[in-house]
Structure 1
């Protein structure tokens, strides 16, 4: 078959989607959204994007009113988020007797809520497409701009939830992933959707593969630049630092049981002190690894037996770094709770601490609590946690300064490092993904951490209760990891940070804004030119 013949076959297929109506059209939109999900971790079936986004473009091309545009976008997003976020409901099964009523919201309600963002976006896109007569490449660019605007809004409004951004599908393809050092993950999402939707631009009065080939050429240029960026960048290790990352693999159902807490703690201590401990400088435990309250004060005599128990496996000259909850007295005299990180030395001293600053809605606190039923509690907390002050350097003995992140905090691009003073050398992420079992969630979470390392140009160290624990260097290469569901230690060096600070680390989403506005102006200019203005 000739290229021209194949282009006409593509046009015939496009016509079938364009002419779809009613429930059939919404079903096709949901199916296309689900296929787009398979491009994300852990499947990484990226070629499916070259089907999913042209289908979305063709379905919207067949719409002639904003209500249909909204419904198509909503259906695509629900189809995308239900299989992408199904794992959230797994957390409810740790105590399904208490949280059964939240199951429909976790499975369908949250995807529908997130789908409203895309529904509004496609409604605006459809209006602009008809009002300005967008077609061809301008139509494709406008849809890509809409998609990334929706992702950005979803990542920032209502506390933000930038999970499963479409660019995360590229985490195994490191040459392509390097562009996030310039544009950030939202910029990679913009390029991804634009390149994937360009085949739809070739369907018109004269069907052609040229737009699709142009997109592949852009992808090749991005990958070529990324390969050049990585070439020869082996990155040495920080001298004199050996980390022991401990992954105890304690099931969430056992983690907080009164008759199991002490055994869980002893298990961590035993694992930490296993063969090779004398060659380790720092031991790293996961989020809330210590199932008791700790204090940031060294004068708290009530916790002395606990700190002595913990510091027996703090290496000489280094520290034990662990997650634990912290109890403090607020200004009104009432107790306040924090999800915290502590660093303890062999002398029994708490030398550094950090409080989580970006809390999980409904997991660690209840938003709009006054409007909710009395007695309702967050899934992961008996009482609402309080938020810490934000990113800051963690100064530890025997190792360069780190920027600590607890669990969910690592998912927010551009918000993982303090922006004042000297930049920390590495990112330290403690997490507990045991809530989600053997699902896609922990794989998605680990992929997100890889992108943060590339964006900021620093290595990332991750300790997870049930996995995936590991160390990622400043170019996104996984130096070592413990698989999901395994129990064990990972003894590993700390890589050096990148020689040059990435543009994204310096300028954040300003570069994305310039990209977005430049492409928008190109679409506007094309519209004016076509209308003879």
Structure 2
């Protein structure tokens, strides 16, 4: 049985002729829960929603999760408490929902605390529980905003979509941003559905994902047959339209490749253990060279078959730039004309009275050895690669440090100087390291110091996900990087220490890959970029902002009419 709602959207008397049956009774029970039971239901609903994220991709789980969210907001307050009390109650519900969603989706972060357990095990609860607890505040704000726009009927679905997509955008931008497992990834991991990202980006997908996922809530609360079934049917139709558009956008033939380019991605599958230490540099170099020179097939001869060799982030536990012997050994192993692109830490000579500055970088090395262009990571991982400014001195005073053992932590590259990497034989390369590839709209340089930036030809993502083992983490990371290819209309070349390494064409199609936990090499041609720029590459989040504003106007007009 479902309830009528007052002008503030609070449940009042049961409606005659409204939905009946087990689903309606479940919705009624959820609406009437209170206290710790309400928070437990919200957290459980959020946790179920995490099953819609990679690698599971269970879209129905998001429908269950968001439908329960609608019913919880429906019953968040009675008329006696007024709208202010309802907004506060919804903020608490939103925090519990977000905490469940993030804890279930990010539990694998705990693996990083076990790599050096003697030093970091004590902090494991901070990563597994503390981080979701803090990030859940964004969902508290999203649910509160939804309640402010809440009205009976279909418009409350729009209100939830506005609140959650706005809070996801904020989560991806404020305090350095952390757009991991943004709700839009429920659609952004499917090859057909992800094509819409070429126009509206990840946050546009998020808005649609909430609208589609929350619409079936009316099956249990609609006052009429039209009110019950209409929203769910519209959601199914919307999903079908997205599928049709995506399938139509995909070409029926493989993407053409760049002439004269043959890539070899090396996935060493090196653990972050005692063997990966500076004193073992000779063995590590031998390992990389030996793996790089493997024959990919009985009729192939190794490095001589490729033009560009790619090694992952943090390939060496020492400063390769300051090790002429190691550089010479690497250069001697390559035939003339071959290029090595590798992740490596590098240091700049300090000025007087300054400490050395260390960078997480991508280096290009050719025979000679000759160092070519360099990219320094701009968007560093808080607590992983550096300690945030306000906490730095205090934490170091008690003997704490970031995960990566670099004195003082890494220094970010200049954001204003971020540019394309110049690699001989390749089109201009958009360089990203590790989780830089999860930030939509931020990976391309806006301009070059001496004029417009050259037209990029590919996204290169070097990463080291060994910290997280064989968990959903590396798979989620790859799925998000893959979506950047569709948004930007550029192929993605991704080399990961422990996987997933892959080459992806500008439509998001995987042309070659190595799974998690496998040692090996991956030879592949480089797909060409799309001939023009995607809508998202030109307008960025403007389409999302327009969608958000349009829904907001509708929600406000409906609420005003009812009031």
Smaller-chain TM-score range?
over 0.9
In the TM superposition, 1:86-485 aligns within 5 A as 86-129=107-150, 134-202=151-219, 203-206=221-224, 208-232=228-252, 234-254=254-274, 256-275=276-295, 276-295=302-321, 303-331=323-351, 332-367=353-388, 368=390, 369-372=392-395, 374=397, 375-383=399-407, 384-390=409-415, 391-420=418-447, 421-485=453-517
For residue 264 of structure 1, report the CA deviation from its aligned partner. Answer: 2.0
For residue 444 of structure 1, report the CA deviation from its aligned partner. Answer: 0.4
TM-score normalised by the chain length of structure 2: 0.89
Contact 1:417/1:423, CA 8 A, preserved across alignment: no
1:82-127 deviation line (CA, Å, top 9, x unaligned): 1211111111111111112211111100000011111122123223
For residue 313 of structure 1, report the CA deviation from its aligned partner. Answer: 3.6
1:116-148 deviation line (CA, Å, top 9, x unaligned): 11112212322332xxxx121110001011111
For residue 304 of structure 1, report the CA deviation from its aligned partner. Answer: 2.5
The residue matched to 1:405 in structure 2 has which SS? strand
The residue matched to 2:431 in structure 1 has which SS? strand
Distance in 1 (alpha carbons) for counterparts of 2:294 and 2:395: 48
1:349-399 deviation line (CA, Å, top 9, x unaligned): 111111111100000100121343512110113321101123311111111
Q: Does 1:491 align with 2:523?
A: yes
Contact 2:141/2:163, CA 8 A, preserved across alignment: no
Distance in 2 (alpha carbons) for counterparts of 1:94 and 1:260: 18
Distance in 2 (alpha carbons) for counterparts of 1:313 and 1:393: 27
The residue matched to 1:312 in structure 2 has which SS? helix
The residue matched to 1:395 in structure 2 has which SS? coil
Structure 2: gaps of 5 or more residues: 1-15, 78-84, 296-301, 448-452
Match of 2:91 in 1: 70
Distance in 2 (alpha carbons) for counterparts of 1:118 and 1:226: 30
Contact 1:198/1:215, CA 8 A, preserved across alignment: yes
Contact 2:71/2:217, CA 8 A, preserved across alignment: yes
1:57-86 deviation line (CA, Å, top 9, x unaligned): 101110112332122111111111112111
In the TM superposition, 1:45-60 aligns within 5 A as 45-60=58-73
The residue matched to 2:419 in structure 1 has which SS? coil
Match of 1:22 in 2: 35
Distance in 2 (alpha carbons) for counterparts of 1:80 and 1:256: 35
TM-score normalised by the chain length of structure 1: 0.94
Match of 2:81 in 1: none
Summarize the Cα distance change of 1:79–1:363 in structure 2 as closer, same or farther, 3 Å threshold. same
